C-alpha cells in the first residue's frame, strides 16, 4: 500500500514538472522567427562602426582600411631590418602583404657580428669615417637596434652641408629659392630646392622661358634677334678687325660672312655661332652660360655671349671624361712662333684634407695635341692665375685614378682668367687639339660643381 502511494506521488510530481516546463516556453511564430533572425544577422555581420570606411578590395586602389590592393612590393621596403630580398604580394582580402616569399635575414643584433642588413653591431667607428664632410673628430657607438651609429658623440665641423649655412664649396644649404632669381633669362617662375649634397638647386620644378625668334626680345637660349646688326669686333676681337654681321634667321648666332678677319690666326672661336667648329662628347655644350645658383654665378662670357662649357645651366655629370675637339686639323706653319690661348672660368670638385685643411682636387681639364699616328700628348699650360693650374686626381678608366696637371680650382664669380701654351715645337706639323675634362661623378647623377667654361680659343702668332 505504501509503495503504491509513493508511486502515485512521484507520478503527480513528474506530471507537474513537465507541465510547468511547457508553460515557460514562449511560442514563436514564423514571422517573429524571421524578424529575430534578420536582426541577429544584422547586428553581428553587416554593421560596422561609423568611423570605419570599407574599401572595395580588388579594384586596384587602396581605400578605407585596406593595407594594399593588388600588386607587389619589395620586401626590404616592408622591413629593411628583417628582410634581405624578395617581393611580397597583396593578400586576397587586402588586409596586408604576404611575406612568405621574402628572404629573411639571419642577423642577430647584439652578437657583435655585423650581418646584412645590419649597419653595425656593438662596435665603435671614427666619426670622420662616417661623414668627413660633417665631422672632424670623435667616435660613435652602434645603435642598439644595429641600424646605424649614434653620432651624438661626434665633433662637428664648423661648416657642413645641412647646417643651414652656405660655406666654402657649397652652392646652397637646405634652402628654397625662386627660379627667376636663379636665372631671370632662363626661368619665368617656379621654386628650386637645394639638393641634399648642397651642390646646387634642383630646377626640375622651374618654368623655362620659351624663346620666340622674331619677337624683338633676346631671351632663353637666343643669342640675338632677327634683323639686328653688330660690329664684328664685338663678336670676337681676336678674330675680326672690322665689318658688321647680321643675326641668323633662327636667332642662334651671328652671320660673320661680312666680317673682316685678322691675319696670322690659324684658328679662332668666341662661341657665338654654335658648335660648327667642334666635335663634342660627354658634358661639353656650346651656348649661353646660365649657372647662377646659391651664390655661385657664371652667367657671362669673357667676350660676347657664348661659351664652351661642361653644362651651361647645371653642374657637370659625366663620369670619367668629356672631350671637346677642334673639328679641323690645324696646320702649324714651319716658320713663325705660334701659341694656343683661351680664357676660362674654373670651379671643380674637391674635398678638404683633414690634416692640412687644404683642398684635394679630383676633377679638372687638360689640353692635348695629336700629330698623325703619334700618341695623344698633353700640352704644357701657362696660367694668368696660377692658383687655377695644378695637379688633380683624374679618373681615367672608370676604376683607376691618375695624377694630371691642368685646370682645377675655384674662380671668382663671372671671372675668366687667361691660359696659353707655346706651340713652337710643333712647327711644320698638322695637329688635332682637344680639351679633355675628367670627372669621377656618377653617370646620370648630379654634378656637384659648375666645372669649366671656356671662351676666346685662338691659335695665332705670338
Q: How confident is the model at residue 39 (pLDDT cuts 50, 70, 90)?
A: very low
pLDDT confidence tier of residue 52, bands split at 50, 70 and 90:
very low
- Whether the pLDDT of residue 12 is over 50: the answer is yes
Coil, strand or helix: which one is 325?
strand
CA–CA distance, 198 with 177 (Å, rounded to integer): 13
Question: What is the mean predicted confidence (pLDDT) over 187-214?
Answer: 88
High-pLDDT (> 70) share of the chain, %: 86
Cα–Cα distances in Å, from 78 out to 71, 96, 324, 325? Answer: 14, 11, 47, 51
What confidence tens digit (pLDDT) does each residue in 152-175 have?
A: 999 887 777 888 887 656 778 888
The cell numbers describing 354, all together, are: 683633414
| CA terminus-to-terminus distance, the chain | 156
Enumerate the domain spans of the chain: 72-104, 164-210, 215-262, 264-461
Local confidence band at 225 (pLDDT 50, 70, 90 cut-offs): very high
Tell me what pLDDT residue 255 has: 93
Write out pLDDT tens, residues 274-308.
888 999 999 999 999 988 876 788 889 999 889 99
The pTM for the full model equals 0.49
pLDDT, position 106 = 82
Residue 56 and residue 89: Cα distance in Å, rounded? 17
Query: Comparing C-alpha atoms, which of 60, 145, 434 is closest to residue 284?
Result: 434
Give me the pLDDT at residue 147, please: 87
Round to whole Å and give the CA distance between 155 and 136. 6
Q: Average per-residue pLDDT in the chain? A: 83
CA–CA distances in Å: residue 203 to residues 162, 264, 349? 19, 44, 20
Query: What whole-number distance in Å separates Cα of residue 187 and Cα of residue 203?
Result: 9
Q: How far is CA 460 from CA 171, 333, 340, 407, in A?
A: 38, 10, 7, 21
The string of DSSP codes covering 220-273 is: TT-S--TT-EEEHHHH-TTTEEE-EEEEPTTSSSEEGGGSEEPSSEEEEE-SSS
Q: Quick: pLDDT tens for 123-146.
A: 999 998 998 777 888 999 999 889
Yes or no: say if 365 and 437 are a contact pair by the CB < 8 Å rule.
yes
- CA 447, 449, 452, 455 torsion: positive or negative? positive
Please tell me the predicted confidence (pLDDT) of residue 29. 42
Quick one: pLDDT at residue 335?
85
Q: Domain 264-461 has what CATH class?
A: mainly beta
Residue 264 confidence (pLDDT) above 90: no
Is residue 148 within 8 Å of residue 159, measured between CB atoms?
Answer: no
Amino acid at each position: 500500500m505504501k509503495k503504491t502511494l509513493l508511486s502515485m506521488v512521484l507520478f503527480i510530481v513528474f506530471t507537474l514538472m513537465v507541465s510547468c516546463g511547457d508553460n515557460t516556453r514562449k511560442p514563436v511564430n514564423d514571422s517573429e522567427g524571421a524578424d529575430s533572425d534578420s536582426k541577429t544577422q544584422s547586428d553581428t555581420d553587416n554593421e560596422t562602426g561609423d568611423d570605419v570606411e570599407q574599401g572595395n578590395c580588388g579594384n586596384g586602389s587602396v581605400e578605407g582600411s585596406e593595407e594594399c590592393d593588388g600588386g607587389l612590393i619589395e620586401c626590404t621596403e616592408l622591413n629593411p631590418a628583417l628582410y634581405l630580398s624578395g617581393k611580397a604580394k597583396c593578400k586576397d582580402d587586402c588586409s596586408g602583404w604576404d611575406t612568405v616569399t621574402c628572404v629573411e635575414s639571419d642577423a642577430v643584433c647584439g652578437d657583435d657580428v655585423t650581418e646584412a642588413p645590419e649597419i653595425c653591431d656593438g662596435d665603435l667607428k671614427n666619426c670622420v669615417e662616417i661623414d668627413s664632410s660633417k665631422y672632424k673628430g670623435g667616435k660613435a657607438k652602434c645603435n642598439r637596434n644595429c641600424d646605424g651609429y649614434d653620432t651624438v658623440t661626434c665633433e662637428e665641423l664648423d661648416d657642413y652641408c645641412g647646417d643651414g649655412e652656405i660655406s666654402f664649396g657649397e652652392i646652397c644649404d637646405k634652402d628654397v629659392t625662386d627660379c627667376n632669381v636663379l636665372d631671370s633669362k632662363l626661368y619665368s617662375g617656379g621654386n628650386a630646392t637645394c639638393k641634399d649634397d648642397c651642390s646646387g638647386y634642383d630646377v626640375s620644378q622651374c618654368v623655362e622661358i620659351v624663346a620666340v625668334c622674331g619677337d624683338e626680345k633676346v631671351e632663353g637660349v637666343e643669342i640675338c634677334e632677327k634683323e639686328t646688326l653688330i660690329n664684328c669686333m664685338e663678336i670676337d676681337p681676336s678674330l675680326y678687325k672690322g665689318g658688321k654681321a647680321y643675326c641668323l634667321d633662327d636667332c642662334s648666332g651671328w652671320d660673320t660672312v661680312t666680317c673682316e678677319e685678322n691675319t696670322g690666326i690659324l684658328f679662332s672661336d668666341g662661341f657665338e655661332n654654335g658648335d660648327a667648329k667642334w666635335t663634342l662628347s660627354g658634358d661639353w655644350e656650346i651656348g649661353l652660360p646660365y649657372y647662377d645658383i646659391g651664390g655661385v654665378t657664371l652667367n657671362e662670357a669673357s667676350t660676347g655671349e657664348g661659351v664652351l662649357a661642361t653644362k651651361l645651366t647645371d653642374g657637370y655629370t659625366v663620369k670619367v671624361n668629356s672631350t671637346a675637339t677642334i673639328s679641323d686639323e690645324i696646320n702649324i706653319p714651319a716658320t713663325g712662333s705660334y701659341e694656343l690661348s683661351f680664357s676660362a672660368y674654373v670651379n671643380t670638385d674637391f674635398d678638404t684634407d683633414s690634416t692640412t685643411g687644404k683642398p684635394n682636387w679630383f676633377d679638372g681639364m687638360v689640353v692635348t695635341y695629336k700629330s698623325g699616328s703619334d700618341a695623344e700628348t698633353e700640352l704644357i699650360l701657362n696660367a694668368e692665375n696660377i692658383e687655377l693650374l695644378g695637379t688633380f686626381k683624374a679618373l681615367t678608366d672608370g676604376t683607376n685614378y691618375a695624377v694630371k696637371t691642368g685646370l682645377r680650382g675655384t674662380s671668382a664669380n663671372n671671372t675668366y682668367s687667361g691660359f696659353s701654351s707655346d706651340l713652337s715645337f710643333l712647327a711644320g706639323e698638322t695637329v688635332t687639339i682637344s680639351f679633355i675634362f675628367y670627372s669621377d661623378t656618377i653617370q646620370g647623377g648630379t654634378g656637384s660643381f659648375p666645372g669649366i667654361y671656356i671662351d676666346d680659343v685662338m691659335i695665332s702668332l705670338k
